[in-house]
Amino acid sequence: MRRVVIASSGRRAGLASGIIGGALLVSFASCATNMESPPADDDVRSSVPEAAAPELDAAHAEADATDAVVDAGCDPADPGCTAEVISCDTVEWCLVQTPASPFHALTAVCGSSKDDVWAGGAGGTVLHYDGATWTAIPSGFKEVFYNVWGSGPNDVWIVSHTGLVLHGTGFEDGTAVWTNTPPTLWSNAEVPSLRPIRALWGSSADDVRMATYPFYSYAYSWDGEFYFGGDVNQLVKTTPEGEGGYEWRALPGSEHFITSIWGSSATDVWMTADNGGSERGMTLHGTPGPRPNPRIDESYDCFGCEPECTSCAIADDLVWTPVESQTSGVLESVWGSSASDVWAVGYGGAIRRFATSDVRWQVVASPTTQTLHHVWGSGPNDVWFVGDQGTILHYDGKTIEPSSVQLPLGPKPALHGIWGSGPNDVWIVGDGATLHYTGRKQGSGRK
């Protein structure tokens, strides 16, 4: 077996700067620095309110509501403004109080059951819901967490950038312990720091993918017979956690930024990506094919990472095929109920659907022009879409229509993440708002 060295360069550091300023307005999905004695005021708990929004005194309700809206920097006549908090009794989605700061957007939510839900966001915010109470979990950091994912209650990842990848073993005794495992390549070569990680997904605890801006990397054998030099934009976990933490395998990728990853299995994976040019709505489908095995073997029959090469150190297990999305706008989220039913959403209210027999994405008529940040569902006839200005849409197997929602006074918040344990237990998180699905209500707007 030849020894192979992998190294990297931060030559594309400038590419990352463009998204950091807008980092709060992205979509995501469940968990990382040991905290022995968290400050008492950080471990705040908040019960889920069962009652409707508080009633205002009739004599002052209208004036107080108008003043509150104006104070929030919002014109009550603006359709993007909430001038009145609707009663929870008449809507499908109700506001839920959490210990998160109203100034810190929640960007992602995911869980393993209705009693084990995680959310993350700006200001290093990490929250956990145990079926009755949302608890603030000190993370020890102040950065924005962009994505949350877990294979189960005892394997949770929450990511911010290439220097901040937190792993936890679950919620226990009212808290959680995080270990920061910033990615190193399997040869312990450098990975550029502070590259935002938007996309995170796995098929199991042993198969976890995350993606960031492309950076230059190279691999070579000491005898010079093997060499790869080029862009990589994915990292795949390769080894169990030990004294040095997890290690990651870099995967080749073009100069595009992956915005989301979802798969029905380890061998059927979808990505949405932004190349910053004419193909900002890129989608890629990963399936097994004649690609090189990602690990060095005894074969010395090729140079570099050509498709026929069996010795490429950093190649992917999957072949990635571009699929026409029929949009030039960025697609921010992909999800499917199965390998034969996949959805993608993004800029300008774009909704796309892909079935097994399709050669390109189907354009689905959308009832909104607001950018959609996330898609999730419990099955093929129960799919939810969330986005800017409090937009919540639902697909029931036949039509897509708006869902009624209780929003706080002021500008309607962007909604970034959605996840549920089933059709009747679904959570949405966003800018200063956490929402829980309470079921269809009479007069709620949906038939």
Q: Residue 225 sits in a domain of what CATH number?
A: 2.130.10.10
**Block residue for tokens 């019960």:** 47
Tally of domains within the chain: 1
The bridge status of strand 351-355 relative to strand 106-113 is unpaired
Mean pLDDT by 10 residues, the chain (447 residues): 39 32 33 30 34 39 52 81 93 97 95 98 98 95 97 96 93 92 63 90 93 79 60 78 64 84 96 87 88 44 46 68 95 98 98 95 98 98 98 98 96 98 97 93 57
Q: How far apart are CA 252 and CA 214, in angstroms?
A: 9
Task: Please tell me the pTM assigned to this model.
Answer: 0.81
Expressed as residue numbers, the domain containing 221 is 4-52+87-437
Q: What pLDDT sits at residue 60?
A: 45
Q: Are 142 and 124 in contact, with CB atoms under 8 Å apart?
A: yes
**Block residue for tokens 């190294």:** 7
Q: Are 107 and 445 in contact, with CB atoms under 8 Å apart?
A: no
Q: How far is CA 308 from the centre of its chain?
A: 34
Q: What pLDDT sits at residue 421?
A: 97
Domain assignment of residue 444, yes or no: no
Q: Are 158 and 177 in contact, with CB atoms under 8 Å apart?
A: no
CA geometry: angle 358, 236, 120, nearest 5 deg? 90
Q: Are 310 and 292 in contact, with CB atoms under 8 Å apart?
A: yes
Domain assignment of residue 443, yes or no: no
Domain assignment of residue 414, yes or no: yes
Q: What pLDDT sits at residue 245?
A: 60
Ramachandran bin of 297, using left for φ above 0, alpha for ψ from -120 to 50, beta for the remaining angles: beta
Domain assignment of residue 379, yes or no: yes
Domain assignment of residue 67, yes or no: no
DSSP letters along 61-126, please?
A: HHHHHHHHHHHTT--TTSTTEE-S---GGG-SEEE---SS-TTS-EEEEEEEETTEEEEEEGGG-E
Domain assignment of residue 232, yes or no: yes
Q: What pLDDT sits at residue 74?
A: 85
